[in-house]
Copies of this chain bind each other. A is one copy, B any other.
Amino acid sequence: MLMKYRLFTPGPTSVPEATLLELAKPVHHHRTAEFRAMFNEVQSMLQHVYQTKTTVYTITGSGTSAAEAGIVNTIAPGKKVLNVSNGKFAERWASVSKTYGAEVEELKIEYGQHVSAEQIAAKVKGTKYDALILVHSETSTGTVCDLESVSKALRQNSPDTMLIVDGITSIGALPFKMDEWGVDVAITGSQKALMLPPGLGFVALSDRAWAAVDANKARKTFYLDLAKYKKSIADGDTPFTPANTLIDALRVSLAMIKQETIEGVWKRTRLTAEAFRQGVTALGFELFSKQPADSVSAVRYPAGVTDKDFRGHLKNKHNIHIAGGQGSMEGQIFRVNHMGYSDAYDALSVVAATEHALKALGKPVKFGAGVAAAQSVLAGLFEK
């Protein structure tokens, strides 16, 4: 029986058909006026997504390469870093800082929770940190922080501390205002909200961050040396051969975001996530996160439902691919994407599939109970 493949993992995420077709076009060379003009257009649309006037650099690599670039360039060995560690990705950035000789203090926060403005204020009042590193939306737990308040608390209490933000599952999905919020280093990847396959990372630096790069003369990195990217971008270029066909395709996806407007994307993401949460909650599930992100939902399995059975059923019977938990959360949760090329009926389909899976696994379920709860939220998307 035909069941379409539906990819709802929190990255890679589904890619629009028009973007995929762009990837099938013959390969052109990238040192041309045409590529430069296209890359400039991409640049301007990336700035819209980042809500920034500064340059957003494109790195050929995973999101991790962009995050590492943001850290190694701005944080010299011996610098003091406060790393909010509340999930697998947050912990990874602490490892990166340590690799490069930073003095890292980890502010450990329970999985499923995030740092508050008050916690940041209290920490940075007592100690002078060179940088605060945090993940805006932690993909492993589906947890978001109030970045606007956190950045305000940081600026009021320690104006010179750099704010380094992993926006890999926030930028382009959740409200994110780099300039207004005073974010110094903002990182994302291609395969999340930007509706592209994996292969590109992005990083933007404030003037404060660039001053830190300029002062960090002994940095040991070559491919990820952002000064090289800064020099090249003046010619509309990249320092190393870029994944140029992915950049061509990115233009198509970013044009879709531009047309919907970034505010429209934020609203759609928020309402589809809320619809999904209402749907699964109505079915008796609990969210893993105390501060759920609108980009990715992490849901706890109730007693008697195993990850293997539940995700296996969705995969094998419904051709729906969602993610499980990582590390200590393996087997305890499942995760569903709401970013990027994901709409109202995608959210509804996962809720409906959840009902069918519960039924198949012999659990009590009333068809439509979750779906109706989701629909009552989705109605908000169809109002004028």
Contact = CB atoms under 8 A, between A and B. Distances in A.
Nearest to A11: B241
A28 interface: yes
A297 to B, nearest CB: 17
B5 A29 contact: no
A199 interface: yes
Interface in A65-116: 65, 68, 95-96, 99-101
The 10 lowest CB-CB distance pairs between A and B, nearest first, are A199-B243, A24-B24, A62-B240, A23-B23, A197-B245, A64-B240, A20-B24, A61-B61, A65-B223, A198-B241
Nearest to A238: B62
B27 A14 contact: yes
A7 interface: yes
A262 to B, nearest CB: 23
Interface string A216-228: 0000111110000
B222 A68 contact: yes
A362 interface: no
Contact of A60 (B25, B99, B198): B198
A137 interface: no
A189 interface: yes
Contacts of A68: 222-223
25 contacts: A5-B26, A7-B26, A9-B29, A12-B30, A15-B26, A15-B27, A20-B26, A27-B191, A30-B198, A60-B60, A60-B199, A61-B61, A62-B241, A64-B222, A65-B65, A65-B240, A95-B222, A101-B220, A197-B245, A197-B246, A198-B242, A198-B244, A198-B245, A199-B199, A223-B224
B99 A220 contact: yes
Contacts of A20: 23-27
Given A23-B24, A68-B223, 19 more contacts: A7-B27, A9-B29, A12-B27, A12-B28, A12-B30, A12-B244, A14-B26, A15-B26, A30-B198, A60-B199, A62-B242, A62-B243, A64-B222, A64-B223, A64-B240, A101-B220, A198-B245, A199-B199, A199-B243
A270 interface: no
Copies in the complex: 2
A7 to B, nearest CB: 6
Nearest to A101: B220
A188 interface: no
Contacts of A7: 26-29
A23 B20 CA distance: 7
A12 B241 contact: yes
Interface string A2-21: 00010101011111000011
Nearest to A30: B12
A25 B242 CA distance: 22
A108 to B, nearest CB: 21
Interface in A184-232: 189, 191, 197-199, 220-224
